[in-house]
Chains A and B, each alone.
Chain A
Amino acid sequence: MGEDAPAGTSGMEQPSEDPNVSSASPTTQDTLPRHLDDVEVSRLRADFPILGRSVNGVPLTYLDSGATSQKPSCVYEAEQHFYENFNAAVHRGAHSLAVEATDIFEQARTDVAGFIGAKDNEVIWTSNATEALNLITYSFGNASAGLGGEAARAFALEAGDEIVVTELEHHANLIPWQELALRTGATLKYIPVDDSGALRMDLAGSIVTPATKVLAFTHVSNVLGTVTDVPALVALARNVGALTVLDGCQSVPHLPVDVKQLDVDFMAFSGHKMLGPTGIGGLYGRAELLNAMPPFLTGGSMITSVTMEKAEYLPAPMRFEAGTQRISQAHALATAVSYLQEVGMDRIAAWEELLGERMLTGLGTIPGVRVLGPAPGAARIGTAPFVVEGVHPHDVGQFLDSRGVAVRVGHHCAQPLHRALGVVSSTRASTYLYNTTSDIDRLLNAVSDVRGYFGVGK
Chain B
Amino acid sequence: MSDLDQLYQQIILDHAKTRHGAGLVEAPEGVASGESMQHNPVCGDHIRLRIQLEGTLVKNVSWEGDGCSISMASASVLSEMAEGLERDEFMVILDEFRELMRSRGTRAGDEEILGDGAAFAGVSKFPARVKCAMLSWVAAEAALLAANG
Which residues of A are in contact with B by a Cβ distance under 8 Å? 56, 391-395, 398-399, 402, 409-411, 415, 418, 424-425, 453-455
A206 to B69, CA, bound (A): 44
CA–CA, A393 and B44, complex, Å: 11
A410 and B42 contact, CB distance less than 8 A: yes
Q: Does A394 contact B13, Cβ atoms closer than 8 Å?
A: no
Closest 6 CB pairs of A and B: A394-B68, A392-B68, A410-B43, A402-B4, A411-B44, A424-B44
User: Given A398-B126, A402-B3 in contact, is the A454-B13 Cβ separation under 8 Å?
Assistant: yes
- Is B70 an interface residue, CB under 8 A from the partner? yes
**Which of B108-149 touch A at CB < 8 Å?**
126, 129, 132
- Give the distance to chain A from B45, nearest Cβ to Cβ, in Å: 7
Say whether B44 contacts A399, CB under 8 Å: no
CB pair A394–B70 under 8 Å, yes or no, is yes
Our pick among A56, A415, A418 for the contact of B3 (Cβ within 8 Å) is A56
Nearest chain A CB to B65 CB, angstrom units: 10
Taking a contact as CB atoms under 8 Å apart, the answer to whether B4 and A418 are in contact is no
A402 touches B2 (CB 8 A): yes
Residues of the A chain whose Cβ atoms lie less than 8 Å from the Cβ of B68: 392-395
B55-75 Cβ-contact flags toward A at 8 Å (1 or 0): 000000000001111101000
**A425 CA / B126 CA spacing, docked (Å):** 20
- Judge whether B4 and A454 touch: CB under 8 Å: no
B44→A425 contact, CB < 8 A: yes
A411 close to B43 (CB less than 8 A): yes
Q: Give the shortest distance, in Å, between B134 (CB) and chain A (any CB).
A: 14
Q: From A392, which residue of chain B is reached at the shortest CB distance?
A: B68
| B72 proximity list for chain A (CB < 8 A) | 392
Q: Please state if B4 and A409 are interface contacts (CB–CB under 8 Å).
A: no
Instruction: Check if B13 sits within 8 Å of A398, measured CB to CB.
Output: no
Proximity bits, B3-20, A CB within 8 Å = 1, else 0: 110011000010000000
Bound-state Cα–Cα, A280 to B3, Å = 37
- A276 vs B93: C-alpha distance in the bound complex, in angstroms? 48
For window 11-40 of chain B, which residues contact chain A by CB distance below 8 Å? 13
A-B contact pairs, 16 of them (CB 8 A): A392-B68, A392-B69, A393-B43, A394-B129, A395-B69, A395-B70, A398-B8, A399-B4, A402-B2, A410-B43, A411-B43, A411-B44, A424-B45, A425-B45, A454-B69, A455-B13
User: Would you give the shortest CB distance from A171 to chain B, in whole angstroms?
Assistant: 11
Name the residue among B7, B13, B69, B126 with the largest chain A CB count within 10 angstroms: B69
Q: A453: nearest residue on chain B (CB-CB)?
A: B8
> In the assembled complex, which residues on chain A have CB atoms less than 8 Å from the CB atom of B13?
454-455
Contacts of A454 in B (CB 8 A): 8, 13, 69
In the bound complex, what is the Cα–Cα distance between A409 and B43 (angstroms)?
7
Which residue of B has the minimal Cβ distance to A56? B3
CB nearest neighbor in A for B126: A398
Contacts of A399 in B (CB 8 A): 4
Most chain B CB inside 10 Å of its own CB: which residue of A391, A394, A453:
A394
The distance in angstroms between the C-alpha atoms of A399 and B2, with both chains bound, is 12
The distance in angstroms between the C-alpha atoms of A411 and B70, with both chains bound, is: 18
A116 to B44, CA, bound (A): 35
Selected from A391, A398, A418, A424, the residue in CB contact (under 8 A) with B7 is: A398
CA distance A391 to B66 in the complex (A): 12
Give Cα distance in the complex from A455 to B132, angstroms.
Answer: 20
CB-CB under 8 A from B44, the residues of chain A are: 410-411, 415, 418, 424-425
The complex places the Cα of A399 from the Cα of B7 at a distance, in Å, of 10
- The minimal Cβ–Cβ distance linking A386 to chain B, given in whole angstroms, is 16
Asked if residues B69 and A425 are in contact (CB atoms below 8 Å), the reply is: no
